[in-house]
Amino acid sequence: MAVYLVLLLCGLGMAVMVYRYDMYDREPLVLLALAMAAGVACYWLTGLVEDHFLASYSSPPIVVHAAITGVCEEVGKVLLVVMLAVICRPFFNDPIDGLIYGSFVGLGFGLGESFYTVMLAGPEWYQVPTEAVRLFLHTLMGGVGGYGIGLLVFPGRKASWPVWLVGGVLLAMVTHFLWNFYVGLVPVEKSGPLTQVAAVLLMLGLTGIFGFLVV
């Protein structure tokens, strides 16, 4: 239980990090909790979709596996943000709300995936750093993918929101694909310095993009 508790604390840290950027019209905590819960459900649903596509391969190549998971998971996250924007329309009134809700959906997705991964392997302390990185990446990819939806309420950028939305989702998909291809799906015996360099560069790049969108 201690490993799961530590992962929850990591998730809480991610939530606080994102919440502090919602500086003008803070979202109700109950709606952010709903976004996280929806993200957990999204993990299970997209998992079923991924299994359907992967079932046609007896042993899917890494590139195929990475592409399917990257596309399915990021599409699932952004569709959830769209649903939240419609359902919670009175509260979805700030240009940064797409990023905020997208991040919380991504965090919920990451928690669902991390808990499932830890459960399969059996809770061990060595899993915590890996799963903390997973939470971090899913949170940021969810925020980047959902960012464009928030511009619907921003007069200065309203006309260009589709460009920002498509660009953000594609960027999240590409980052997700690259992470899976170079890091996430690489067998332990085949990983090496290049894997570590790829991991650091992808994390730094995604952090920089997230920060740019916040600004």
Going by pLDDT thresholds of 50, 70 and 90, the confidence category of residue 187 is low
Mean pLDDT of 10-24: 92
Write b or e for each residue in 24-53: b if 16 or more Cβ atoms lie within 10 A of its Cβ, otherwise e: eeebeeebbebbbebbbebbeebbebbeeb
The answer, yes or no, to whether residue 141 has pLDDT greater than 80, is yes
Q: Whole-prediction pTM value?
A: 0.92
d(C-alpha 116, C-alpha 182), whole Å? 22
Helix ranges (DSSP H) in 122-184: 127-150, 161-179
Mean pLDDT of 105-111: 96
Tokens 């943000």 correspond to 81
**Mean pLDDT of all residues belonging to the chain:** 89
**Which has the higher per-residue pLDDT, 138 or 191?**
138
The answer, yes or no, to whether residue 39 has pLDDT greater than 80, is yes
Tokens 């709903």 correspond to 34
